Amino acid sequence: MKPSLAKTFDTVERFVDFDPATLYEAAGRKGNVDPAIRPAWRGAKVCGRAITVECPPCDNLMLHIAVANAKPGAIIVATVGGYLLAGAWGEILTEAALARGVAGLVIDGAVRDIDAIEALGFPVFSRGLAIASCSKERPGKLDVPIQLGGTAVRPGDLVFGNADGLVVIEQGRIEEVYQAAVERRKRESEIITKLRQGRTTLELLGLADPRDGKPPLGSA
């Protein structure tokens, strides 16, 4: 039986202290999202299970439906058909999302009312900003696999993002990636300790200098 977002949130909050690059590496260099999808305000950070939304261009009806049906702790992950000339999310949807316990929004599209959203402390990642409004008439899709910035996202996948970028971890690999991330962070900590003791990255990472046996660059 597929666990609900509410019941599985405790399994994702363990990831909060990691960073996207570590999780991407721990996942076998998979799940990185187009870096053009960025935090809409400085300090925004998301970590939670995905509710996926597919909206037609310039219509955000499905976002309103997603918020109304969201479980606490979920991250709404949406596409808008590549349309960037209207803000598909703003202050009203943010207030609605906060009331439902939604933990953030990641959208391959544009948003608006950023000052108000930042004041509310609601994490938003978007491809752009636009002040124009959307219609609320056309149906889209909810809880289906979508493509977000070149990466597949399915309902229940873990979405993590901060100032460095976004990574998506497949639901079935969450525990595996967590354990690999713990080991990777441990190794990095050991490397940093040795670097502070005077060792080099060439030694510690087993890197070869292609100039070995040749005069240094710039020598006569």
- What is the average pLDDT value for the chain, to the nearest integer? 92
Total tally of structural domains belonging to the chain = 1
In a domain, 203, yes or no: no
Q: What is the DSSP string of 112-153?
A: --HHHHHHHT--EEEEEE-----BS-S--EESS-EEETTEEE
Q: How confident is the model at residue 7 (pLDDT cuts 50, 70, 90)?
A: very low
Instruction: State pTM to two decimals.
Output: 0.87
Q: How confident is the model at residue 211 (pLDDT cuts 50, 70, 90)?
A: confident
In a domain, 198, yes or no: no
Is the pLDDT reported for residue 116 higher than 90? yes
CATH number, domain containing residue 85: 3.50.30.40
In a domain, 205, yes or no: no
In a domain, 15, yes or no: yes
The helix/strand/coil state of 38 is strand
In a domain, 118, yes or no: yes
In a domain, 157, yes or no: yes
Cα 44 from chain centroid (whole Å): 11
Q: Which of 145, 33, 136, 50 is nearest to 93 (CA)?
A: 136
Residue written as tokens 């289906």? 144
Is residue 21 within 8 A of residue 97, CB to CB? The reply is: no
Which domain covers residue 142, as residue numbers?
5-178
Can you give the pLDDT at residue 1?
Answer: 30
Distances (CA, A) of 199 to 91, 184, 204: 51, 19, 7
Q: How confident is the model at residue 213 (pLDDT cuts 50, 70, 90)?
A: low
CB atoms within 10 A of CB 214: 9
